[in-house]
Amino acid sequence: MYVGVDVGGTFTDAVLLEKNHVLATAKVPTKGGEELLISILEALDSVLRDVDPARLKRVVFSTTIITNFIASHKYDDVALLLIPGPGLDCNYFNFNAKTHILSGAIDYRGREIITLKEEEIEAVLSELALEGFNKIGVVGKFSPRNTAHEKKVAAIVKGRYPDWHVELGSRIGVQLNFPRRVHTTYLTCATYEPYHKFVDSVRQALVKREICADIYILKADGGTMPLDNSEELPVETIFSGPAASTLGVQALIPPRETAVVVDVGGTTTDLALILSGQPLLSAKGARVENRLTQVRALAVKSVPVGGDSVLKCSGNGIDILPERLGMAYCMGGPVPTPTDALRVLELTRLGDEERAREAMNLLGNVLGMGTEEVAEKVINMVVGKITSEVQNMFLEWEREPAYRVWEILHKHKVRPEMVVGVGGGAAGFISLVAGELGCRSIIPRYASVANAIGAAVAMPTLQINLRADTEQGYYIIQEEGFQGSIKNRRSFNKQNALDLAREWLIKRAQKYGVEVVPAEIEIIRQEAFNMIRGWVTTGKLFDVTIQTPRGIIERIGLGEDTLWLDQ
């Protein structure tokens, strides 16, 4: 048996699954702040009411906890020690934290070009100690190519202040992007302590319920992480909500479909793409507090319209405001909303028809339009906003940069075959959106808890990035911050690089308690360059990224579950 729990802004959902079937679902209001854990446990208790905890194999949580920590700035201040070296002035990125620039530089090949100055580091640390800092992010430009500077600085900090918490950029941001690495390291450092407390209390609560199943946390890329390991990289769990609904849809539709997931909420509609059965990852990392990070995330767009958005007259038209003042008018709310328009056009059975008509008339009277006319205008506006954003997402995906001839030649146009609606407000809009896009519309059974299903079926994902430079005779496993030497420099080839990466991935998987079938390891990127100096090959450069397979544990929808509300 699997349990999935998704903590959303308004509701916390839970499901209990067994053998492709949903056994129980729960929906409880999410309590804010410190009481978040209460909501999680309430939902969990509800689906486990008649279940022997010993039968549970795993429990997966998708939580907004990190998002909440960051939004409310409930953490100690973090100081950044940056080693940017020559190049772009890093003030352009305004990291919005206490920042000290240290001397020193590493180049693109991982060679030291400017040395660190120990006395400078000592002076900076004394200053930070006086100011009361005890959380430090150390980030160097090109540190994934050579971790020596970051490690040296960390050793000096630990030597003087053993209690301080220090995070290294090279372990957190393994891709080449210094500003994103800095921001990701900052967030990791900032959320470490509150997240640790949260994980602890989850652990205690589960012990109290005698649940000894494997516990995982959902990540932004739709993979899971064991709860214990998630403490190393808490920021990876940010934005797992949209990932949860997308995976849920993946579990509820046939395999290999290309689909748009439309999650209509109260004031926002989240869009995600499933291309040939795989959720699309964002080309850039997740954007947190308006800055890009190196956190891998699904490509999700949030459109500021939802069932409860406030409608307001402006001039000769209607504005959809990005805010909510309560329920829809037809359900006793204070102002007209798109839900009222749906009710008038009989696209939903929610709420009271007379109140819905009244709501449309409030707008119609000002604009000199009839009840149905207003309702149609509103629905067209909402559907128009959603469809144009879907089209943009496909365009953006097509326009993602490519750096090889074959990639450019193989770029092709893909358009969705189905629009899948999830979320409370989906019912009325989905068929219209699908109509505009020329595809089928589907609202699967269990659409309202698709997010919790997504959490339940998500699988662990682990990555390894290897860089090998045979001219300099070293390789580096970026996730582990490990730097080793290559013994057989002359003969070291592409296959050796791949084998080495596989070895490390299996090792890492063991550490995370994840089973890996070597044959199923996916190669994400494999680059090999000959280094020619004066017409002679002097070495080779290899970059390899591999991961455990992406996917879901099982699909839902055999037997009676195949009943879809196909509109």
- Closest to other proteins by CB, 474 vs 564, is 474
Give the side-chain half-sphere CA count within 13 A for 511: 13
Q: What is the rounded CA–CA span in Å between residue 18 and residue 21?
A: 5
- Closest to other proteins by CB, 25 vs 188, is 188
Q: How far is the CB of 147 from other proteins (least distance, A)?
A: 15
Alpha-carbon dihedral sign for residues 114, 116, 119, 123: positive
- Closest to other proteins by CB, 395 vs 563, is 395
Q: How far is the CB of 545 from other proteins (least distance, A)?
A: 14
Q: How far is the CB of 177 from other proteins (least distance, A)?
A: 5
Answer whether 78's CB lies under 8 Å from 128's CB.
Answer: no
Q: How far is the CB of 230 from other proteins (least distance, A)?
A: 27
Residue 155 structure tokens? 């050793």
- Closest to other proteins by CB, 91 vs 316, is 91
- Closest to other proteins by CB, 408 vs 524, is 408
Answer whether 68's CB lies under 8 Å from 246's CB.
Answer: no
Residue 3 DSSP code: E
Q: How far is the CB of 435 from other proteins (least distance, A)?
A: 31
Contacts with other proteins, residue ranges (CB under 8 A): 86-89, 92-93, 105, 107-109, 113-114, 141-142, 175-180, 284, 292, 399-406, 408-409, 411, 527, 529-532, 534-537, 541
Answer whether 244's CB lies under 8 Å from 452's CB.
Answer: yes
- Closest to other proteins by CB, 325 vs 524, is 524
Q: What is the rounded CA–CA span in Å between residue 416 and residue 411?
A: 16
As to burial, measured by CB atoms within 10 angstroms (0-12 exposed, 13-18 middle, 19+ buried), residue 395 is exposed
Radius of gyration in angstroms for the set of CA atoms belonging to the chain, rounded to a whole number:
26
Q: What is the rounded CA–CA span in Å between residue 547 and residue 505?
A: 7
Listed in sequence order, the DSSP H helices in 210-273 are 240-252
Q: What is the rounded CA–CA span in Å between residue 393 and residue 270?
A: 12
Q: What is the rounded CA–CA span in Å between residue 219 and residue 462?
A: 11
Q: How far is the CB of 278 from other proteins (least distance, A)?
A: 21
Q: How far is the CB of 475 from other proteins (least distance, A)?
A: 16
- Closest to other proteins by CB, 92 vs 495, is 92
